[in-house]
Amino acid sequence: MNAFGKILQSSIPTLVSDFVISSYGGGTNSTALLIECVKRGIRIDMILFADTGGEKPHTYLYLEYFSKWLVSKGYPAIRVVKAPIKSLEQDCLDRKALPSVAYGFKTCSQRFKVQPQDKLLNNSFIVTARLVKLIGFDADEPQRANKTYDDKYTRMYPLIDWNMGRDECIQSIENEGLALPGKSACYFCPNSKISEIKWLEQVHPDLLQKALAMEAQADLTEIKGLGRNFSWKSIYQQQDAFMNHFVPDTPCDCYEGEVA
């Protein structure tokens, strides 16, 4: 029996006695995770979304849409947390740099997603029990799971334990009659594919211009641009007849509840 099943079936279930948090990333996996918790009757005490300040507009719209659905099912509304001083975009502009992932690091996830959530939980008077954090990595990406079940933040990966891969997550959302959320990632994310850059150019040209401005002012002695080995400027208005202009519904690999 997997760890999640053992906890559910134990004589003093962790999910009853402890404080259960779901880190909502705004994408398909974390949406399906919450839908399945509702369907399976798994209690959640708090749902957190860490806002870097640079999500695409459709993510902010879906956040409100899905939060209302959760409330209609008797679950907590999604609570938005942010870094206290500035957004990730402003931090990059102030430092004349790009998001850390462009340089091969993931400190932007740590500073602007993990730390705001941890700060809220560490300072919250309502959290008195051990914390159980549900994270939406799916069964197609088990290598991302840090399976520790006995530390301060007991991390659990229900989608992996339920053997739900990407297709099953999509099906879960569709079966509930909800719209798919699309990909959740900063509009200036260095992990963006060329098709996503071209999509941004077509659908949100103002955001692409802001990303290009960030790239233009950054110190690029180590890399060529937001694409690491290529600049977004070089892609801007590039004509490509076979390019798909859509946002792929796949994880950005920056974050889905914790640092990967």
Reply yes or no on whether the pLDDT at 5 is more than 70. no
Domain hosting residue 112, numbered range: 3-175
Reply yes or no on whether the pLDDT at 78 is more than 80. yes
Task: Give domain status of residue 183, yes or no.
Answer: no
Mean pLDDT of the chain: 83
3-state secondary structure of 152: coil
Model confidence band, residue 177 (pLDDT cutoffs 50, 70, 90): very high
Reply yes or no on whether the pLDDT at 26 is more than 80. yes
The pTM (predicted TM-score) of the whole model is 0.83
**How much is the pLDDT for 254?**
59
Same domain for 137 and 66: yes
Q: Which of 41-45, 125-129, 166-170 has the lowest mean pLDDT?
A: 125-129
Task: Give domain status of residue 251, yes or no.
Answer: no
**How much is the pLDDT for 237?**
66
Kindly state the average pLDDT of the residues 113-139: 78
Furthest-apart CA atoms within the chain: distance in Å: 62
Same domain for 224 and 106: no
Per-range mean pLDDT, top range of 70-79, 116-125, 218-227: 70-79
Q: Are strands 131-134 and 19-23 parallel, antiparallel or unpaired?
A: parallel
Same domain for 140 and 205: no
Structure tokens at 150: 């006995």
Report how many domains make up the chain.
2
**How much is the pLDDT for 148?**
52
44 CB neighbour count, 10 Å cutoff: 19
Per-residue burial over 243-259, b = 16 or more CB atoms within 10 Å of its CB, e = otherwise: eeeebeeebbebbbbbe
Same domain for 97 and 10: yes
Same domain for 149 and 68: yes
Task: Give domain status of residue 32, yes or no.
Answer: yes
Q: How many Å apart are CA 245 and CA 198, to the nearest integer?
A: 6
CA neighbor of 46 nearest in space, from 23, 67, 26, 64: 23
Task: Give domain status of residue 181, yes or no.
Answer: no
Task: Give domain status of residue 79, yes or no.
Answer: yes
Q: How many Å apart are CA 35 and CA 29, to the nearest integer?
A: 10
**How much is the pLDDT for 158?**
92
Q: How many Å apart are CA 114 and CA 83, to the nearest integer?
A: 10
Structure tokens at 124: 């919250």
Q: How many Å apart are CA 180 and CA 171, to the nearest integer?
A: 10
Same domain for 170 and 43: yes
Same domain for 55 and 150: yes
Per-residue burial over 208-234, b = 16 or more CB atoms within 10 Å of its CB, e = otherwise: bebbbebbeebebeebebbbbeebbee
CA dihedral 64, 259, 169, 7 (to 10 degrees): -100
> What single DSSP character describes residue 101?
G
